[in-house]
Amino acid sequence: MTRSDGVTVLGLDPGTRHFGWGLVRRVGTRMTHVGHGVVSVAGEGPLGERLVAIERALVEVLSSFAPHEASIESMFFAKDASSASKLAHARGVGLLVTARAGLAVFEYPPARVKRTVTGAGRAEKAQVAQMIRIMLGLSVTPPPDAADALAVAVTHLQGRALPGIREPIARAAVHR
């Protein structure tokens, strides 16, 4: 792929009830919105069933959009161990699906994502969503989980142009 061909990045914002995804394409210095969404699953169902629903939806996203790379928020440590454990399971599904598709996967801390998009590492979700709407020229502000996923993709694309790009945290030997 040449530089003029551009690159499409899938950003992931994991959650077991609301799992955000967003795709951003960069050609040269221009970034454009490709698509976004939120996989919402009933919180009352068994965790395993919710993870299967997330996996199916992400496989469909990959099949529909065929991104070149993926980026995901790194884990933050919550006070509630149960919530952190569930989040780790959802994050694992995102890593599994993208690695199985042969994508290099990069991770970014939430504070870096917020700082990249808003200039402040402690920005609120609404600020991130509003800035993503402006940066990508969207007519409507995306839902918070999708906006966070788009912000992760933007963060990766911003850093991708810099020398010494980080090594991916996951990459499967099997390619599409």
Task: Choose, from 13, 55, 107, 148, the residue flagged as catalytic.
Answer: 13
The region that residue 134 occupies, defined by phi over 0 for left and psi between -120 and 50 for alpha, beta otherwise, is alpha
145 a catalytic residue: yes
State both tokens at 120: 């402040």
Chain-centroid distance of CA 26 in Å reads 15
Task: Choose, from 55, 69, 107, 145, the residue flagged as catalytic.
Answer: 145
5 a catalytic residue: no
Angle 28-33-36 from CA coordinates, rounded to 5° = 145
Task: Choose, from 55, 69, 73, 107, the residue flagged as catalytic.
Answer: 73
86 — phi, psi (to 5°)?
-65, -40
- What span, in angstroms and rounded, lies between the C-alpha atoms of 110 and 63? 27
Residue 71 burial (CB < 10 Å; 0-12/13-18/19+)? buried
73 a catalytic residue: yes
Please give the positions annotated as active site. Answer: 13, 73, 145
